[in-house]
C-alpha cells in the first residue's frame, strides 16, 4: 500500500516516539462500542478488572473488527511494515473523580517482547483531556537507555505491579489529548504516565498493541497474537481465532487460556499469586 503518513510525520514519530491525535472513527461509531462495553461491565460486576480488561478482541466481534480498521492499520504499517499482529488489547478506564493514576513507566521493561517496533494505538471512547487524566509522554525517551523502575503496588496505580520511574522532569512531558473517536500512537519504549480523572465522565481508553511477526516473547513459550494484516512467516505466536460473533465459544475458551500466560508474562520472576491482576 502507499504511504498513509507523510515523511515528516514518520520522522517526527521516530524522533519523538509518538503521533498526536488522528481520527479513526466518528462519535456515532464509537457510541455503540461504549454502550456494548458498559453493558458487559454491568453484567460482570462493574468496572473491568483482571482478565476482563485484556484481549477482549477474543470476546467481542465488534472489537475484533475494530482492531482491523483500515485507517489504523495503514498508519501502523507506515511505522512497522506490512505484516502486522495484534499482541494485546487492554482497557484503561478511569471513573469520574477517581484517584486512579498511571505512574511513569516504559512498557518495554515488563512485557518480554524483543522488538523496538511495537506500537500502541490508544483510542478514546470518551474525551481524554488534561482534566480527565490523558496520557503524558516524555518525548525522545524511547531512544535513550532503559530507565530504572521500582515496583510500588500502590492501590490507586492502574499498573499491575505499580512500576514507577523516579526523577522524571514533568516540565518536559507532553499531554496527548484525544477526543472521542480519535487515537494517538506511541512507541514501545517511550516513558509515559497519566494523572487522575477530575471530570464527571468516565475516561475510557482502548490500547491496541501492534507488533511485527518477527517479534519473540522471552517470558513465555505460549504467547499468542492475532494476525490482522499481511502474513506471519515466523510462527512465534500461537494464532488467535477471530470470533464469528460476540462470545463465540471457541474464542472465549482461547481467551480463558490466555489468562495464565498473561500473568506469567507480566509477573515474570515474581510470585504473581500474591499480587492483584
Report whether 91 contacts 203 (CB < 8 A).
no
The whole-number pLDDT of residue 185 equals 97
Query: pLDDT 10s per residue in the chain (277 long)?
Result: 557 899 999 999 999 999 999 999 999 999 999 999 999 999 988 888 878 899 999 999 999 999 999 999 999 999 999 999 999 999 999 999 999 988 899 998 889 999 999 999 999 999 999 999 999 999 999 998 788 877 767 677 788 666 778 888 889 999 999 999 999 999 999 999 999 999 999 999 999 999 999 999 998 888 999 999 999 999 999 999 999 999 999 999 999 999 888 888 876 655 434 334 3
The whole-number pLDDT of residue 277 equals 37
How many whole angstroms separate alpha carbon 154 and alpha carbon 276?
11
Q: Where are the domains of the chain?
A: 7-270
**Residue 115: Cβ within 10 Å count:** 17
How many whole angstroms separate alpha carbon 253 and alpha carbon 250?
5
Instruction: Record the pTM.
Output: 0.92
Helices marked H in the chain — which ranges?
Answer: 7-16, 27-43, 61-66, 70-80, 249-266
For residue 135, what are the contacts with CB-CB under 8 A and spacing of at least 6? 102, 122, 128, 175, 176, 178, 184, 186, 192, 193, 194, 205
User: For residue 205, which phi and psi values (nearest 5 degrees)?
Assistant: -125, 140
For 208-253, the DSSP string reads EEEE-TT--BSS-S--EEEEEES--SS--SEEPPPPSSTT-HHHHH
Q: Tens digit of pLDDT for each residue in 74-84?
A: 999 999 999 99
The whole-number pLDDT of residue 275 equals 39
Length of the chain equals: 277
How many whole angstroms separate alpha carbon 205 and alpha carbon 3?
27
Q: Tens digit of pLDDT for each residue in 209-226?
A: 999 999 999 988 889 999
Q: Does domain 7-270 have CATH number 3.40.50.1370?
A: no
- Judged on CB neighbours under 10 Å (0-12, 13-18, 19+), 20 is middle
Amino acid at each position: 500500500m502507499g504511504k498513509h503518513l507523510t515523511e515528516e510525520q514518520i520522522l517526527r514519530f521516530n524522533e519523538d516516539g509518538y503521533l498526536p491525535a488522528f481520527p479513526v472513527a466518528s462519535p456515532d461509531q464509537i457510541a455503540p462500542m461504549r454502550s456494548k462495553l458498559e453493558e458487559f461491565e454491568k453484567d460482570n460486576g462493574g468496572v473491568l478488572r483482571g482478565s476482563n480488561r485484556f484481549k477482549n478482541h477474543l470476546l467481542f466481534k465488534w472489537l475484533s473488527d475494530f482492531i482491523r480498521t483500515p485507517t489504523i492499520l495503514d498508519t501502523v504499517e507506515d511505522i512497522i511494515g506490512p505484516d502486522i499482529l495484534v499482541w494485546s488489547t487492554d482497557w484503561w478506564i478511569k471513573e469520574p473523580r477517581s484517584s486512579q493514576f498511571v505512574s511513569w513507566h516504559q512498557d518495554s521493561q515488563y512485557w518480554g517482547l524483543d522488538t523496538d517496533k511495537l506500537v500502541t494505538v490508544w483510542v478514546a471512547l470518551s474525551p481524554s483531556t488534561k482534566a480527565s487524566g490523558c496520557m503524558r509522554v516524555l518525548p525522545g525517551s524511547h531512544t535513550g537507555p532503559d530507565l530504572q523502575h521500582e515496583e510500588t503496588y500502590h492501590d490507586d496505580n492502574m499498573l499491575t505491579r505499580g512500576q514507577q520511574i523516579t526523577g522524571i522532569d514533568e516540565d518536559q512531558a507532553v499531554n496527548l489529548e484525544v477526543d472521542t473517536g480519535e487515537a494517538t500512537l506511541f512507541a514501545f519504549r517511550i516513558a509515559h504516565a497519566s494523572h487522575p480523572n477530575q471530570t464527571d465522565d468516565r475516561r475510557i481508553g482502548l490500547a491496541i498493541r501492534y507488533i511485527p511477526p518477527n517479534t519473540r516473547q522471552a517470558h513465555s513459550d505460549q504467547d499468542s497474537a492475532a494476525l490482522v494484516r499481511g502474513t506471519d512467516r515466523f510462527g512465534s505466536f500461537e494464532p488467535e481465532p477471530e470470533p464469528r460473533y460476540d462470545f463465540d465459544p471457541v474464542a472465549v475458551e482461547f481467551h480463558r487460556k490466555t489468562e495464565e500466560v498473561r500473568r506469567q508474562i507480566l509477573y515474570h520472576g515474581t510470585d504473581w499469586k500474591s499480587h492483584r491482576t
